[in-house]
Structure 1
Amino acid sequence: MVIAMKRPELISRILIITGILLAVGAPLFLWARTPLIHARMAEDGGWNPDVIQAETGKPLHLKLTSDDVVHGFAVGQMDMQSVDILPGKVTEITLTFDKPGIYTFFCTRWCGLNHWRMRGTIEVTGGSDIITAGGSSEPASVPLYVSLDLDIDAPHDSPVIPNEKPSAMNGQLLGANLPIDQSLDYYLSHSPYQVFTDLSDTSLTESQKWDAVAYLWQSNTTPESLANGKELYAQNCAACHGENGAGDGVFADDLAEAGEASMQTMEGATDMVMQTPVDFTDPSRILGASPALLQGKILRGGMGTGMPMWGVIFTEEQIWDLIAYIYSFQFEYQK
């Protein structure tokens, strides 16, 4: 028996079936077109692909998977939580960029000796034609270490060091009468040792001078800044520089051995000394460095060492927070 179907009913059924197909097929089509990014340890190729295209204002859908160990994914200078990437699993994320620019994505898990090499770029177009690193359409500001014309590769050891850890609490008792500039600009542009020498004409004892320096350093930071710096340090620095800043992180020995092996294959490099991670608890190394100088070290990285360039990862505020925390290895701050 053949049942005749009225035209309106037929059209209605066709529309329903079409809607179902679109509802099921559209996500599958989008999923199939979403870039799949493979993460491998840097020794085996790193990110693949390592360059991604996007447009401002349009969601960028990504699929992430690991081919070996657990990796992490984050985009520098963006307010986003890092995402873990598990071996054999596919993790999906969506990013939206408000400004054109070249953004750096990187691994947030310490996956191996060359972990810091795991970086890629997202090239975002649209809006302004000005493309800069970090996604800003505004001209980049000149870093303080550049405007001060600092040679960040020159030795900067402090010839005088305190006998014990300087106390900001003790220094606060002297703060009101200190014959030095206590402004932020002075703090950023002077090393602790330079401030110590600026107090040479006072009647303060050597210990009191260092306490005054500790007070100046604490007065130019905040508990929030120190907390943020501590978190950044744990995530990005501790594996090399050590949890307590002593240059004894889990990768410290491997970095030294890798550097020595590579120098043996370089012609004319027999007299070179591979730098191991800096010991932030060594007063002779840190008390001779100004915040501006450390800014340059972090922004540019250590040429010829395993110290990566962080300028495309951290915001300016994050860099100052990290610097504030590094100095806390030298000074006893008031809780």
Structure 2
Amino acid sequence: MARLTRAQQQARTRAAVLAAAVEEFTEHGFAGARVDRVADRAELTRGAVYSNFPSKRALYLAVLLDSVERTAASGAPAAGTAGDLDLAEGAEAFARAWLERLPLTGDTSDAGKLRSRSLTGVFDDEPGRTAMAGLAGLDGLLVALALESCRAPAASRRVRLAEVILTLLHGAGHLAETAPGFGDPFEVVRACRRLAELDTGDAWDPPHLPYVAAPHSCRDAWTPPDEATDAITGRPVRFDDGGVIVVLGTGRLGAAEEAVRAARPGEPVIVALVTDDPAEIGALVRLRVADLVLCLRRAFGTAIGLPLRLVHDDRAALAAAVGAGTSESTEAAVRVRGGRIIARALGRGAAHAAATAPTSVEGSTGTDEA
């Protein structure tokens, strides 16, 4: 038998650890699970487990992300594409996709939490709570943008609608964990459909935007990474096509909408997600984005026409190219054209500032050398 390469051996070890961890978390839940028992189940040492996953929390997140990826690979057909669905149909399709995760009748409490990809009690510290809040807002934006692309009598912002739908769905998920058998998922789906009729008076008018400072005009060299993958569509993203590039920490994810709303029609908007804790907060970000995107794809198809590209900048390569940090409060943005950075902004409002910057290379002079 041919000897396994180092990469093959690492992949085999990782798979063994994940399989053992599923058994451990299913039997004991997150709080009761122990890494030494995972190692025993996998017939490995504790060191082998920790060399792949630096903490129990990182291991739990990896198990949940593996579940999302396996579900995505099953290839369930989408309800339709956003343009083929009206607003009520889109809300219903998303709710159906989201509720597929609910525990089954015969599931134990811990098995049900694993199936529903529950994070209850997993992130109780402040960095985790900050990340969870930011990711909830990002979820709302992504669902809203999908709903906004549905057929409707008039174009309108749908973020409040998306947030109400997500609140209802998360409530249903929590009740499924704590009070199994309560409620009817089909009624929840119908309620989400009816919510599409709700007049939320949703207008985009953040009070701080008129006071955002103008970006710094420049002609800096632009040397980004070769390419990355769009977490929404799974397609390659190149950074030399121009447009607006925004780097956000978990505490500033709400600024993604500022870039999307201010960008010119059809203009590329790339949002890069960064963290200085890739092992846990970074894994949380990947999980939450992948989980939400799975539901969007099942509801609206794989070619989701959202007006932004989402990139996990795990190694901070794009952040370094922009000149940004990786803390939870990071917000930095640039406008790129003709292979150069023509505008820079940093701090609160940076995403809006870069998106509204002039598209000419010389900024306010109006000279366009591209």
- State the TM bucket, normalised to the shorter chain: under 0.3
Q: TM-score, normalised by structure 1?
A: 0.22
Q: TM-score, normalised by structure 2?
A: 0.21
Kindly indicate which of the two structures has a greater share of residues assigned to helix: 2
> Which of the pair has more CA radius of gyration?
1
Of structures 1 and 2, the one scoring higher in RCO (CA 8 A, sep 6+) is 2
